[in-house]
Amino acid sequence: MENTIKNITYDALVIGGGIAGGEAALNLAVTGFKVLLVEKDLSVGGKMIMLSKVFPTLDCSACITTPKISEISRHPNITIFTGTEVGNIRKVSDTEFVAKVTKKPRYVHVADCTSCQLCEQACPVSVSDEYQYGLVGRKAAFIPFSIASPKAAAIDIDNCTLCGACEKVCPTNCIDFTMVPETMNLHVRTVILATGFDLIDPKKMPRYGYGTFKNVLTAMQMERQLAPTRPFNTILRPGDGKMPDKLAYVLCAGSRDATVGNPICSQICCMYSIKQAQLLMGALPMADVTIYYINIRSFGKGFEEFYQQAKGMGVNFVKGKIGRITEKENGNLTLRYEDINTGKLMEADHDMVVLSTGVVPPKGIDGLFEGETLYMDQFNFVKQSDPLANPSKTSIDGVFVAGTATGPMDIPDSILSAGSASSEAISYLIQHV
Amino acid sequence: MEVEKGKTAKYLREKLGGIPEQAKERLKEFNQQKKKITEALKDGELTVKQLSEKLEMPSHEVMYNLSSLVKYGQVLVGDIDDMDEYFTYKLNK
């Protein structure tokens, strides 16, 4: 593939277009600094834009995210590169970094796309939709999701059969298969890492049967089922389309578990599971929902009340550690667990199981910098060099960290952390003119 | 090289020397499953379980493909059964 090298200058480079990266970029931009926001995915908004509602207020997640994303996207001081990866970053002087970034071809000219979806309708291909966490298919010519930003089509070139059907129906001729990757050298004065988190692969814990038993889901899959832009018409079992009436949540699935290399608490699983349980009670009024937990960590503002509210609604809480899940012929699942209060081994049947999977750090962040060492903590999140006095400072002068790149935290804390990172970056920029 | 707008897929096909084998295989597989499901629904509304038995296809595969066809507008969701468990699916004629 051909490459073109461009040299571009900005005041700040923000890596990661989730809620933390977006907030940090916006704070810098409104102060008058020119910001480049780089996102590896096809849309900004991160994980938050994919959620149904947020805890403990049960506000619509998309309703909070989209105005913010719109503000970020329209701000004259912010340039957004989606589908773009940062290769490496070099500190060339006390006041300058050079970042090599590669923009992958989208095969669509975003500015010309009207998101009419005619290309989607014409495309004959169907592959697993990663934005619906594999519950349903999508086309090779597709708009990632209905509230994506930019809301423009993209071509999944790995699955495209190059039939040209999308091009034929496109009213603006915005589809362009001649696009090639673009490599750019970005000259920036400061860097904010807002690289977010990953969720642990539940297949690392074969005892839960994820992937083998089709009615064992992850909480993100349930999140999509609860969202207005859901994959099915209601909550259904992916195994056979049955509307479930006896659901179980398994907390600490891949967190507080040294056997899978993640001994720390993910901080959000208790509350997002309680949130989903409450939403399920609304969506499936006749259903029983049971949450199997080790400890409920309702530490934040309004969290304990939210937990008590779930109990009041009839969510069943069982202090038990799941040892194994097995599947019955009808797709129902048997959970074998230790009742922590009595020490007895128990069994319970459910027709759908949701794994509240733990938060893990994204890979490759420590290798981003050339000639400088970005220190990571013992769990491989970005190490804060002074967590109390300067919570956003890293081991590299001029590089700041925001949101869950430092460790698990919820949405309000991510936004606070982004505020801290942007304040420190602004202060650094003013001092290093 | 100047490539005519609206014919760039042909350009990339020629540049790559054809269509990637994996993409071809996936399309073939989807078309086969789509055909089986839509043929079976011609006789009337069916649930995932009924389709699975009729087509001798695993029920999770039926569910996945059927949901995709609903999303693409080729199949519609019908009514739920008397036990409030399974929806029926019908062709969008």
Structure tokens at A417: 């952390």
Strand boundaries in A352-391, DSSP class E: 352-357, 359-360, 369-370
Nearest to A9 by CA among A99, A76, A105, A72: A99
User: Is residue A316 within 8 Å of A290, Cβ to Cβ?
Assistant: yes
> Where, residue-wise, is CATH 3.50.50.60 in chain A?
7-103+181-197+361-431, 200-359
Structure confidence at residue A151 (pLDDT): 96
Sign of CA dihedral A106, B73, A331, A319: positive
Give the pLDDT of residue B2: 75
> Chain A residue with minimal CA distance to B14?
A162
What fold, for A7-103+181-197+361-431? FAD/NAD(P)-binding domain (3.50.50)
Nearest residue of B to residue A178 by CA position? B8
Looking at the complex, does the CB of residue A171 fall below 8 Å from at least one CB of chain B? no
Inter-chain contact B87–A236, Cβ cutoff 8 Å?
yes
ipTM summary value: 0.95
Are residues A241 and B59, on separate chains, in Cβ contact within 8 Å? yes
Interface membership of B29 toward A (CB under 8 Å)? no
Query: Pick from A139, A159, A163: which is nearest to B9 by CB?
Result: A163
- Chain A contact present for B81, CB below 8 A: no
Cβ density class A22-36: b for 16+ within 10 Å, e for less:
bbbbbbbbebebbbb
Gap between the Cα atoms of A401 and A21, Å rounded: 9
Minimum Cα–Cα distance from B49: chain A residue:
A240
Q: What is the pLDDT of residues A256-269, one digit of tens each?
A: 999 999 999 999 99
* Chain A residue numbers touching B23 (CB-CB < 8 A): 125, 140, 158-161
Question: Distance between CA A270 and CA A274 in Å, rounded?
Answer: 6
B60 touches chain A (CB under 8 A): yes
Under a CB-based contact definition with an 8 Å cutoff, are residues A132 and A164 in contact? Answer: no
Identify whether the C-beta of residue A195 lies closer than 8 Å to the C-beta of residue A360.
no
Q: How confident is the model at residue B1 (pLDDT cuts 50, 70, 90)?
A: low
> Is B44 touching A (CB cutoff 8 A)?
no
Mutation to test the A interface, candidates B27, B41, B65, B84, most A Cβ within 10 Å: B27
CATH class of B20-91: mainly alpha
Question: A250 pairs with which residues across the strands?
Answer: A292, A355
Helices (H) and strands (E) in chain A, counts: 8, 23
Q: What token pair was written down for B83?
A: 């036990």
In the prediction, which pLDDT does B85 show? 95
In this structure, are residues A239 and A331 in contact, taking their beta carbons and an 8 Å threshold?
A: yes
User: What letter does residue B1 receive in the DSSP assignment?
Assistant: -
Q: DSSP string covering A385-414, please?
A: SBTTTBTTB-SSTTEEE-GGGSS---HHHH
Interface membership of B16 toward A (CB under 8 Å): yes
Q: What is the spatial distance between Cα A269 and Cα A287, in angstroms, rounded to a whole number?
A: 21
A200-359, what's its fold?
FAD/NAD(P)-binding domain (3.50.50)
Which residues from B are below 8 Å from A135, CB to CB?
64, 67
Q: Do A241 and B8 touch (CB under 8 A)?
A: no
Calpha distance A11→A255 (Å, rounded) = 38
Q: Please tell me if residue A146 touches chain B, with a CB cutoff of 8 Å.
A: no
DSSP for A73-107 reads: HH-TTEEEE-SEEEEEEEEEETTEEEEEEEEPP-S
> Per-residue confidence at B7, pLDDT binned at 50, 70, 90?
confident
**Residue A317 and residue A296 in contact, taking contact as beta carbons nearer than 8 Å:** yes
Task: Count other Cβ atoms within 10 Å, centred on residue A234.
Answer: 12
C-beta atoms of B84 and A243 within 8 A: yes
> In this complex, is the C-beta atom of B17 within 8 Å of any C-beta atom belonging to chain A?
no
Which of the residues A121, A161, A329 would you substitute to probe the B interface, choosing the one with the greatest number of B C-beta atoms within 10 Å? Answer: A161
Q: What is the mean pLDDT of residues B18-36?
A: 94
Per residue in A374-399, pLDDT (tens digit) is 999 999 999 999 999 999 999 999 99
* Contacting residues for A166 by C-beta, under 8 A, at least 6 apart: A119, A122, A123, A141, A153, A155, A175, B9
Low-confidence ranges of chain A (pLDDT < 70): 1-5
Q: Would you call B30 and A233 a contact, using CB atoms and an 8 Å cutoff?
A: no
Q: Does B24 touch chain A (CB under 8 A)?
A: yes
Sort A171 into a burial class: Cβ within 10 Å, 0-12 / 13-18 / 19+: exposed
- Indicate the residue of B13, B26, B70 with minimum beta-carbon distance to A125: B26
Strand partners, A369: A89
**pLDDT at site A1:** 44
User: In this complex, do B6 and A167 lie within 8 Å of one another by their Cβ atoms?
Assistant: yes
The Cα–Cα gap between A284 and A278 comes to 10
For testing the chain B interface, which of A106, A107, A108, A126 should be mutated: the one with the most B CBs within 10 Å? A126
The confidence score (pLDDT) of residue A204 equals 96
Say how many C-beta atoms besides its own lie within 10 A of residue A342's C-beta. 10
Given this model, what pLDDT does residue B5 score?
A: 81
Q: Where are the domains of chain B?
A: 20-91
Cα–Cα dist A369/A182, whole Å: 20
